[in-house]
């Protein structure tokens, strides 16, 4: 009886946490905005491939997202100047992708650094979809 | 007493050279009192520590160096008091002689008939005064260097960088002069030991020397230890209180304003929040004009944010501060006007640090000042605040 109620409570907590992560309204709005512009459903799988890919066209010192963000989105990264970067994974850093201006600022800077161009709405939506599931 | 009278009589009529004076007894009497001996060897120790930390050890040893100087200064002050209130041979009156007497002693010495002094002879007296004066001057000039260039200590609030930098030259020259004097002092002690057939170094350890007929006689004076301790105590307390009080004052030309939070948030997101006093206005202007290509990355900000940061940097640039970093980093590398690590000063100061240290995980690059400089954000860069992370050491 006791065990049952504990497991129910635990399950409820897990569900609540999952819902909170997945459905942070601010993040959802940002994601929906990019998806609407892209005109397609965001794909976490494409986002993953994008994150780990080696790109060309950008600055020679940073040719992939992982150069600074590290190989594991759940772990932090480090800037080229030695400053720690908080993990991109939403499960570890729940505040990720909740401030539209900040998201635009960093996509703007980092896409130009790594790709040498602005990212498309598809790429942005995929990226957020991938990180939201991490 | 009787011996003294005999000596006195002989002294009045004939001068007995040191080499001829027979010991009155085989027992050795106390010539250097305990205060003199403790002072002497403590000064040796403090000067040795100051010399090693000043000439050989790196900048992070500055606090040990400064404390060695403080101890030396306290010893010189204490010895000066004891020179008026100590026992017979501790007193200045016993060994400070007029030029005529010094020349006469020198002539007698060369003629091989100089008297033996139980305390310092006239030449030794000159050396003692010179040593005390030079050490005092080294301490004062060191205080000016510390105050003017590092903006620390009791003189920081009145000393400009220019004065501190000039004092540094004086401090260094005097340090070499002191080494020369120490060599002469030891040579004099060795020479006199041979001439009078008595180990003077040992005498400075146990304080004892022979009493011989024909010795130059001193006017006996009783020590006044309580009076001396009182005078020295008052001097020390007054000096310590004054130094502590003045050291609290903000250093002249040290930036006091807290680093702007907007600047710190925007620029500090990627790298150490470089204090605005670390580059001159022209360099900051060139940097903020091209954030899209910022050390190999795009660091662009919107126009309003860029303007706000540019204004802040211009208003607090190196020209507005008088710290060592602001004065030296102002001279930038013309080809890389806003690369702090390319400035001649930066390169000189970090020349001894292995590449592996910068490449280590704990440091993560030459631009990460705060990895080793605990006070990097304030722009102060006091050498005593340098700690190279142990895991970064090769």
> Do B161 and B253 touch, CB atoms closer than 8 A?
yes
Does residue A124 carry a pLDDT above 60?
yes
Q: Which residues of B touch A80 (CB under 8 A)?
A: 270, 295-297, 365
Tell me what ipTM this predicted complex has. Answer: 0.79
Q: Which residues of A touch B368 (CB under 8 A)?
A: 81-83
> Do A64 and A55 touch, CB atoms closer than 8 A?
yes
CA B176, CA A97: separation in Å to the nearest integer? 63
The chain A residue lying nearest B293, using CA atoms, is A113
pLDDT value, residue B6: 40
pLDDT value, residue B26: 74
Mutate to test the interface with B, among A83, A106, A110 (most CBs of B within 10 A): A83
| Residue B312 to chain A, least CA–CA distance (Å) | 21
Does residue A93 carry a pLDDT above 70?
yes
Does residue B15 carry a pLDDT above 60?
no
Average pLDDT over every residue of B355-375: 92
For chain B, say whether A64 makes contact (Cβ under 8 Å).
no
B367 and A82: CB-CB below 8 Å? yes
Percent of chain B's residues with pLDDT above 70: 94
> Do B212 and B21 touch, CB atoms closer than 8 A?
yes
CA A42, CA A127: separation in Å to the nearest integer? 8
Q: Tell me: the pLDDT tens digits for B155-198?
A: 999 999 999 999 999 999 999 999 999 999 999 999 999 999 99
With tokens 């306290």, the residue in question is B74
For chain B, say whether A4 makes contact (Cβ under 8 Å).
no
pLDDT value, residue A126: 96
Does residue B246 carry a pLDDT above 90?
yes
Residue B152 is encoded by which pair of tokens? 């620390």
Lowest mean pLDDT among B11-15, B48-52, B276-280: B11-15
Q: Tell me: the pLDDT tens digits for B256-314?
A: 999 999 999 999 999 999 999 999 999 999 999 999 999 989 999 999 999 999 999 99
Average pLDDT over every residue of A87-99: 96
Does residue B8 carry a pLDDT above 60?
no
B270 and A79: CB-CB below 8 Å? yes
| Cα-based torsion angle of the residue sequence A48, A53, A57, A60 in order, rounded to the nearest 10 degrees | 120
| Residue A67 to chain B, least CA–CA distance (Å) | 12
Q: pTM (2 decimals)? A: 0.84
The length of chain B in residues reads 394
pLDDT value, residue A5: 60
Percent of chain B's residues with pLDDT above 90: 88
Question: With a CB-CB cutoff of 8 Å, which residues 252-271 of chain B face chain A?
Answer: 268-271
Q: Which residues of A touch B364 (CB under 8 A)?
A: 78, 81-82
Does residue A19 carry a pLDDT above 50?
no
pLDDT value, residue B7: 43
Average pLDDT over every residue of B331-337: 96
pLDDT value, residue A21: 46
pLDDT value, residue A60: 87
CA B81, CA B93: separation in Å to the nearest integer? 12
The better pLDDT of the pair A57, B227 is held by B227
Average pLDDT over every residue of A79-104: 94
Percent of chain A's residues with pLDDT above 70: 83
pLDDT value, residue A61: 82
Question: pLDDT confidence of B228, banded at 50, 70, 90?
Answer: very high
CA B384, CA A129: separation in Å to the nearest integer? 49
The chain B residue lying nearest A107, using CA atoms, is B298
Does residue B11 carry a pLDDT above 50?
no
Q: Give B309's contacts (C-beta < 8 A, 6+ positions apart).
A: B262, B263, B266, B267, B288, B301
B271 and A112: CB-CB below 8 Å? no
pLDDT value, residue A59: 86
Lowest mean pLDDT among A9-13, A118-122, B384-388: A9-13
For chain A, say whether B301 makes contact (Cβ under 8 Å).
yes
Minimal CA–CA distance to B151: which of B250, B256, B257, B276?
Answer: B250
Question: pLDDT confidence of A110, banded at 50, 70, 90?
Answer: very high
Minimal CA–CA distance to B33: which of B182, B221, B195, B214?
Answer: B221
Classify burial at B180, counting beta carbons within 10 Å of its beta carbon; exposed 0-12, middle 13-18, buried 19 or more: exposed
Does residue B16 carry a pLDDT above 90?
no
For chain B, what is the radius of gyration of the CA atoms?
29
pLDDT value, residue B178: 98
Lowest mean pLDDT among A6-10, B181-185, B322-326: A6-10
Question: pLDDT confidence of A1, banded at 50, 70, 90?
Answer: very low
| Residue B373 to chain A, least CA–CA distance (Å) | 14
Average pLDDT over every residue of A4-26: 57
């Amino acid at each position: 009886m006791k065990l049952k109620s504990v497991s129910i409570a635990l399950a409820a907590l897990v569900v609540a946490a999952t819902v909170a992560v997945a459905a942070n309204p601010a993040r959802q709005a940002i994601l929906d905005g990019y998806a609407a512009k892209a005109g397609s459903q965001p794909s976490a799988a494409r986002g993953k491939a994008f994150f780990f890919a080696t790109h060309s066209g950008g600055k020679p010192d940073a040719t992939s997202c992982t150069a600074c963000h590290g190989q594991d989105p759940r772990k932090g990264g480090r800037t080229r100047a030695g400053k720690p970067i908080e993990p991109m994974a939403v499960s570890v850093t729940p505040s990720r992708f909740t401030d539209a201006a900040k998201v635009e600022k960093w996509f703007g800077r980092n896409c130009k650094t790594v790709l040498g161009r602005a990212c498309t709405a598809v790429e942005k939506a995929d990226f957020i979809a991938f990180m939201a599931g991490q | 007493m009787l011996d003294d009278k005999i000596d006195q009589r002989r002294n009045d009529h004939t001068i007995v050279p040191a080499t001829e004076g027979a010991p009155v007894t085989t027992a050795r009497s106390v010539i250097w009192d305990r205060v003199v001996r403790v002072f002497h060897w403590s000064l040796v120790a403090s000067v040795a520590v100051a010399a090693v930390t000043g000439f050989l050890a790196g900048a992070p040893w500055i606090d040990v160096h400064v404390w060695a100087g403080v101890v030396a200064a306290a010893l010189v002050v204490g010895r000066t008091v004891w020179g008026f209130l100590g026992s017979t041979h501790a007193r200045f009156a016993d060994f400070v002689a007029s030029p005529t007497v010094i020349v006469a002693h020198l002539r007698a010495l060369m003629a091989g008939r100089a008297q033996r002094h139980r305390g310092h002879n006239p030449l030794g007296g000159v050396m003692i005064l010179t040593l005390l004066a030079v050490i005092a001057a080294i301490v004062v000039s060191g205080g000016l260097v510390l105050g003017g260039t590092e903006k620390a200590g009791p003189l920081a609030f009145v000393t400009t960088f220019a004065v501190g930098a000039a004092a540094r030259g004086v401090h260094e020259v005097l340090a070499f002069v002191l080494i020369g004097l120490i060599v002469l002092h030891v040579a004099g002690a060795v020479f006199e030991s041979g001439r009078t057939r008595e180990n003077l170094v040992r005498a400075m350890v146990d304080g004892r020397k022979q009493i011989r007929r024909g010795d130059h006689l001193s006017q006996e004076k009783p020590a006044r230890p309580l009076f001396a301790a009182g005078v020295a105590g008052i001097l020390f307390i007054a000096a310590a209180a004054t130094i502590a009080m003045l050291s609290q004052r903000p250093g002249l030309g040290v930036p006091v304003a807290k680093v702007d939070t907007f600047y710190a948030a925007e620029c500090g997101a990627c790298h150490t929040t470089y204090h605005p006093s670390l580059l001159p206005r022209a360099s900051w202007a060139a940097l903020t004009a091209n954030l899209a290509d910022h050390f190999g990355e795009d660091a662009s900000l919107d126009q309003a944010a860029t303007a706000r940061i540019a204004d802040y940097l211009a208003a607090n640039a190196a020209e507005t501060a008088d710290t060592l970093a602001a004065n030296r980093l102002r001279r930038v590398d013309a080809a890389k006007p806003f690369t702090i690590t390319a400035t001649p000063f930066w390169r000189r100061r970090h020349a001894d640090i292995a590449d592996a240290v910068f490449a280590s995980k704990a440091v993560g690059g030459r631009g990460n000042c705060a990895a080793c400089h605990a006070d990097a954000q304030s722009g102060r860069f006091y050498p005593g605040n340098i700690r190279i992370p142990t895991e970064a050491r090769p």
